[in-house]
Amino acid sequence: MKRILSLLLAVCLTVSLLAACGGKGGDPVANNKAEASTDKYRDYYQVWIGSFYDSNNDQIGDLPGVLSKLDYINDGDPNGGDDLGADGIWLSPMMPSQSYHKYNVRDYFNIDPDFGTLEDFDKLLAECHNRGVKVIIDLVLNHSGNDHEFFQKACEELREGKEDGYARYYNVSKTQDSTYNRPVMGSDYFYEGQFDSTMPDWNLSYQGTRDYFEKVAKFWLDKGVDGFRLDAIKHFKDKDTDGVEFMKWFYQMAQGYNPDVYMVGENWSESGDIYEMYDSGIDSQFNFKFAGNGGEFIVASHGMVADMATKLKKFDDNIKKHNEKAINANFLTNHDMLRLYNMLDEEDYKMAAALYMLAPGNTFTYYGE
Ligand SMILES: [Ca+2]
Ligand SMILES: [Ca+2]
Ligand SMILES: [Ca+2]
For residue 168, the domain's CATH number is 3.90.400.10
Lowest mean pLDDT among 33-47, 324-338, 348-362: 33-47
In the predicted model, is pLDDT for residue 22 greater than 50? no
Residues 303 and 158 in one domain: no
CA of 232 to the centre of ligand 3 (A): 8
Q: How far apart are CA 13 and CA 306, in angstroms?
A: 7
> Would you say residue 39 lies in a domain?
no
User: 83 alpha carbon to ligand 2 midpoint, in Å?
Assistant: 5
Catalytic residue among 87, 201, 231, 238: 231
> Do 168 and 229 sit in the same domain of this protein?
no
Question: How does pLDDT run across 73-92, given as a tens digit for each residue?
Answer: 999 998 888 999 999 999 99
Q: Which ligand is located closest to the Cα atom of residue 192?
A: 3
Determine the distance separating the centroid of ligand 2 and the alpha carbon of 254, expressed in angstroms: 31
| Ligand 3 centroid distance, CA of 253 (Å) | 19
Tell me the pLDDT band of 258, cut-offs 50, 70 and 90.
very high
Range of the domain at 276: 2-16+46-142+203-366
Taking the centre of ligand 1 as the mean of its atom positions, its distance from the CA of residue 43, in whole angstroms, is 27
Give pLDDT tens digits for 228-240: 999 999 999 998 9
Domain boundary residue, one of 202, 219, 234: 202
In this structure, the answer to whether residues 345 and 296 fall within a common structural domain is yes
On whether both 150 and 272 belong to a single domain, the answer is no
Please tell me the predicted confidence (pLDDT) of residue 185.
97
**80-108 b/e (C-beta count within 10 Å ≥ 16 → b):** eeebeebbbbbbbbbbbbeeeebbbbbeb
* pLDDT value for 52: 98
Q: Is residue 30 part of a domain?
A: no
Whether 6 shows a pLDDT value over 50: the answer reads no
The predicted structure's pLDDT at residue 303: 84
Q: Residues 168, 239: one domain?
A: no
Q: Which of 120, 238, 266, 296 is catalytic?
A: 266
Same domain (yes/no): 89, 234: yes
Q: Which of 222, 242, 212, 240 is nearest to 108 (CA)?
A: 212
User: Is residue 176 domain-shared with residue 63, that is, in the same domain?
Assistant: no
The whole-angstrom separation of Cα 88 and Cα 103 is 21
User: Which of 226, 362, 218, 228 shows the shortest CA–CA distance to 287?
Assistant: 362
The answer to whether 266 is a known catalytic residue is yes
Rounded-to-integer distance, Cα 274 and Cα 135, Å: 24
Q: Please give all residues whose CB falls under 5 A of ion ligand 3, grouped by chain where several chains appear.
A: 142, 201, 235
Residues 357 and 332 in one domain: yes
Ligand with an atom nearest the CA of residue 78: 2
State the ligand closest to the CA atom of 50: 1
What's the pLDDT score for residue 79? Answer: 87
| Together in a domain, 245 and 326 | yes
Q: What are 30-59's pLDDT values in tens digits?
A: 544 444 457 999 999 999 999 999 999 999
| Judgement on whether residues 106 and 238 belong to the same structural domain of the protein | yes
Residue 26: per-residue pLDDT: 53
| pLDDT reported for residue 27 | 54
**Segment 146-165 mean pLDDT:** 98
Q: What average pLDDT does the chain have?
A: 90
Asked which of 154, 170, 202 is the last residue of a domain, the reply is 202
Residue range 85-109: mean pLDDT, rounded: 97
Question: Do 239 and 173 sit in the same domain of this protein?
Answer: no
The answer to whether residue 78 sits within a structural domain is yes
Least confident of 26-30, 121-125, 221-225, 258-262: 26-30
Residue 287 lies in a domain: yes
pLDDT of residue 343: 87
Give the DSSP letter of residue 225. Answer: -
- C-alpha Rg value of the chain to the nearest Å: 22
Range with the largest mean pLDDT of 78-92, 158-172, 269-283: 158-172
- Residues 262-271 have a mean pLDDT of 90
Quick check: helix, strand or coil at residue 300? helix
What is the CATH classification number for the domain harbouring 226? Answer: 3.20.20.80
Mean pLDDT confidence for 281-295: 94
Per the structure, how many domains does the chain have?
2
Return d(Cα 77, Cα 68) in angstroms, integer: 16
In a domain, 23, yes or no: no
Instruction: Quickly count: other Cβ atoms within 10 Å of residue 171's Cβ.
Output: 22
Identify the pLDDT of residue 81: 86
Is 211 found in the same domain as 266?
A: yes
Query: What distance in angstroms lies between residue 29's CA and the mean position of ligand 3's atoms?
Result: 41
